[in-house]
Structure 1
Amino acid sequence: MELWVRIPLRKSHGTPTDSNSEYPKDSWELWNAFRRLCDYDSNLSVALDVESMLLPSQNSLERWLGESVKAVIISTEVIADCFVQTARGYLLTSYGEELITRFFHHSVQIIISGSTLHDLQKESVNITEGKFSLVLVGADGTHTHPYKPYWDYVSNLFYSMELLSEQERIELRYRDRMCTLSQPLKDNLDAEAYEMLEQDSYKYIQYKRAIARALKDRVPNEKASELTTVLMVVGAGRGPLCQSIIGAEKTDRKVKVYAVEKNPNAVVTLHDLVKANGWEGTVTVISCDVRFWNAPERADILVSELLGSFGDNDLSPECLDGAQRFLKPDGISIPFSYTSFIQPVTTSKLYSDIKSHNKHSYFETAYSVKMHSVARLAPSQPVFTFTHPNFSKKHNNEGYRKLYFDLPRDMGSALVHGFAGYFEAFLYDDVHISIEPTTTTPNMFWWFPVFFPLVKPVEVHSKTPIEAHFWRFNDSTKVWYEWSVATFPTGSPIHNTNGSSYWIDL
């Protein structure tokens, strides 16, 4: 059985509870107290009751996008109050339309309640310039259901929404579906994964731009016909990076390519690609794990796409540290730098899904997920940065960061279910790829954010910063992350200590 709790959507600007009211001025507090008493039961959901169009701030409303909101109830009195008269009739205010449209994107039902407030004998539904409006003149006398005008208007808002982009259509079936992160050195990608990887055409456009710039900087125009640039592709897959290199040959630079790949199935496809395009004189396919390969010569440029959704979670630092022995002392690595980011989030959907497994280890595992039912509580901040090549003998790939996140003052309190993780990478010069929200690369869908869950959600307040701790550790056999929240008056234990639940095999 699923229970919907009817919660009034009250305005909150971080002000204290009204002393004349028995209820909190911030209705989110009411909802949070009730579900806490029910131990965050996944069968609890919210029906938000819009009592007036004096709506909470955008930041306050944002919290509800991460909650299990099933319906928004709007009374006819509220609709009457927020309709504004125009030359085309009566239209809902833009803020009211935006509220309804945002919830439509989260498959929330819109419920109209209350008695009808319009004389249907004197009004009709009219379409003007592509929009429905309630018109108080020109009725045709047709009898209709009392709620028909409201239904028509809300329906039009739904059908007037912008169509999903191609990227959004591709990602639709992955929304809020968690997958455990890959084991890049232990497992091989299957054909379906390669196909999705290779559909990410814009990523390879960026690689081609980076390679072209590196080739031009490496070899001056006057020596373009004399010098041959040696490139090594570490983790060549089925050949998209090789295609980016060959495409960059329009720079009129001569290249010699070693394509190193450990997956025997991908190697077969790679050989076929080389033969079909007549690249035998340019591309040499090496079927070997790069860690055990002895290169016949040093490379000018080392190219890889070993980045994970959190930047370093696919062991790019460890792999490239080992592969840089192939580089000349002044060699170039593409990418040359990448940074991971984290951001506190509310996501009741993901928390409930993990909780349903009834295993502690599931809360100490990182997941790749296209987050949709999520409220991002504060801007993301950088965690770990890696640069290549790094010939320093003292460096290691472990790290620790303590970060403070401030909630917007008008947001009110919120519940942190975990952290979203992203990355930003610079390939060469200023050519970059990113899934970090403020710098995201458009039309790129191979990488979904990482979700680091908390065993128990942590309630936070706008006046108290969220204190997050993140560690990256490694030993001779594995790499793992640990994370925790230490926020007054509540906090969380350290998750995944010593890689007890989640790790990446070396």
Structure 2
Amino acid sequence: NGSHDSCQVVMVLGAGRGPLVNATINAAEKAQCKVRIYAVEKNPNALYTLRFRMNYEWRELDVQLIEGDMRDLKTPEKADIFVSELLGSFGDNELSPECLDGAQPMLKDDGISIPCSYTSYVAPLQSLQIYNETKRSKDLTNKIGFSMETPYVVRLRNCQILGPPQPAFTFEHPKKELNQSNAREVCCSFKIQQDAVIHGIAGYFEATLYKDVILSTHPDRHSPQMVSWFPLVFPFEYPIHVHSGNHVTLHLWRNVSSRYVWYEWVLTEPRPTKIHNAAGHVYKIAL
């Protein structure tokens, strides 16, 4: 919304090999808006490509490369706009909340973030194929069972979703209170419409980029022709048989420590399972 004479400062957080930098350049040209772009990246392989593009493709443009972790940087000026693509198959499972919170001091008080919010969704899942393939897997320490306490990104085909997905965790950026924890917990109840077997939890997400621009993997409103993300599946160690009319209650936690983020999940109704991945003993994401 800046005037044609003002310069909008845009920080591309996690620039990768530069697609969002190019998208920002194209959007600025279309809007006839002057921009100064800071491409922020820490991955050495991606930095190699970014340096090449800086020297050749973007040489005549107002693009600057900042190397390092977005959570620990000092920049020459604050941004009007954050642009990032840090979303995982469950929305927050690739540490987008922690990364964007850490970068927020580089954003002006009236600045905006793209995306500005995202919500994950969960639903009980029936898929014997996924259950069997997961059960056959073993982790590197050869402990059978550990594979049932790790979430998987899966293109869901031979499966049935046993209820309308319900919202789980929501994150907004910029964050109003930076010291607020990103830990979350949710309890969802579903009424089963037919006899079935529950093998896990299907996870989706929906992100608001800006105003009414939305990306979604929610099965009822999936973004057309978008194949960038497949659902996340939280498996159960054993199948749970349910009957038509049964109520199914799921609990899911997003836990945060000083070093890790991890999920725990359990079914408590119609019969309880163990808490999967308790204390992150199988699967956790390093901060």
Cα distance in 1, alignment partners of residues 209 and 178 from structure 2: 24
> 158, 179, 183: which one pairs with 1:398?
183
Contact 1:460–1:487 (Cα < 8 Å) also in 2: no
Aligned to 2:280: 499
> 221, 231, 234: which one pairs with 2:10?
231
Unmatched 5+ stretches in structure 2: 139-143
> What are the residue-to-residue correspondences of 1:53-68 with 2, within 5 Å?
none
Contact 2:72–2:102 (Cα < 8 Å) also in 1: no
Contact 1:343–1:381 (Cα < 8 Å) also in 2: yes
> 123, 133, 143: which one pairs with 1:343?
123
- When residues 393 and 264 of structure 1 are mapped into structure 2, their CA distance, relative to the original with a 3 A threshold, is closer
- When residues 457 and 327 of structure 1 are mapped into structure 2, their CA distance, relative to the original with a 3 A threshold, is same
Cα distance in 2, alignment partners of residues 238 and 366 from structure 1: 27
Report the Cα offset of residue 394 of structure 1: 4.7
> 365, 373, 396: which one pairs with 2:150?
365
Cα distance in 1, alignment partners of residues 216 and 230 from structure 2: 11
User: Given residue 211 of structure 2, which amino acid in structure 1 is its aligned partner?
Assistant: D
Cα distance in 2, alignment partners of residues 457 and 491 from structure 1: 11
Cα distance in 2, alignment partners of residues 393 and 318 from structure 1: 10
Identity of aligned residues (%): 46
- When residues 274 and 391 of structure 1 are mapped into structure 2, their CA distance, relative to the original with a 3 A threshold, is same
> What are the residue-to-residue correspondences of 1:68-217 with 2, within 5 Å?
217=1
Contact 1:344–1:376 (Cα < 8 Å) also in 2: yes
- Mean Cα deviation higher: 331-340 or 345-354: 345-354
User: Given residue 495 of structure 1, which amino acid in structure 2 is its aligned partner?
Assistant: H
- Work out whether 1:426 is the aligned partner of 2:208: yes
Aligned to 2:167: 382
Cα distance in 2, alignment partners of residues 459 and 434 from structure 1: 30
- Work out whether 1:246 is the aligned partner of 2:25: yes
SS at match of 2:181: coil
- Mean Cα deviation higher: 368-377 or 386-395: 386-395
Cα deviation code 1:247-300 (max 9, x no counterpart): 102111100000011112211212223343344431111221212221111100
Cα distance in 2, alignment partners of residues 363 and 238 from structure 1: 34
Report the Cα offset of residue 360 of structure 1: 1.6
Cα distance in 1, alignment partners of residues 283 and 31 from structure 2: 45
- Work out whether 1:263 is the aligned partner of 2:48: no
Cα deviation code 1:78-110 (max 9, x no counterpart): xxxxxxxxxxxxxxxxxxxxxxxxxxxxxxxxx
> 254, 263, 285: which one pairs with 1:472?
254
- Work out whether 1:287 is the aligned partner of 2:67: yes
Superposition TM-score, scaled by structure 1 size: 0.54
- Work out whether 1:450 is the aligned partner of 2:229: no
User: Given residue 236 of structure 1, which amino acid in structure 2 is its aligned partner?
Assistant: A
Contact 2:204–2:232 (Cα < 8 Å) also in 1: yes
Unmatched 5+ stretches in structure 1: 1-216
User: Given residue 398 of structure 1, which amino acid in structure 2 is its aligned partner?
Assistant: A
Count, aligned residues: 281
Cα distance in 1, alignment partners of residues 151 and 60 from structure 2: 42
Contact 2:36–2:63 (Cα < 8 Å) also in 1: yes
Aligned to 1:462: 244
Report the Cα offset of residue 406 of structure 1: 1.6
Cα distance in 1, alignment partners of residues 277 and 116 from structure 2: 30
Cα distance in 1, alignment partners of residues 92 and 221 from structure 2: 18
Cα deviation code 1:357-383 (max 9, x no counterpart): 361211110011111111111111110
Which structure dedicates a bigger proportion of its chain to strand?
2
> Which gives a bigger RCO, structure 1 or 2 (Cα 8 Å, sep 6+)?
2
User: Given residue 355 of structure 1, which amino acid in structure 2 is its aligned partner?
Assistant: K
User: Given residue 283 of structure 2, which amino acid in structure 1 is its aligned partner?
Assistant: Y
Cα distance in 1, alignment partners of residues 264 and 92 from structure 2: 14
SS at match of 2:262: strand
SS at match of 1:491: coil
Larger radius of gyration: 1
SS at match of 1:244: helix
Aligned to 1:441: 223
Cα distance in 2, alignment partners of residues 406 and 394 from structure 1: 37
User: Given residue 284 of structure 2, which amino acid in structure 1 is its aligned partner?
Assistant: W
Superposition TM-score, scaled by structure 2 size: 0.95
Contact 2:72–2:103 (Cα < 8 Å) also in 1: no
Contact 1:458–1:491 (Cα < 8 Å) also in 2: no
SS at match of 2:77: coil
Cα distance in 1, alignment partners of residues 95 and 179 from structure 2: 19
- Mean Cα deviation higher: 420-429 or 356-365: 356-365
SS at match of 1:418: strand
Contact 1:261–1:286 (Cα < 8 Å) also in 2: yes
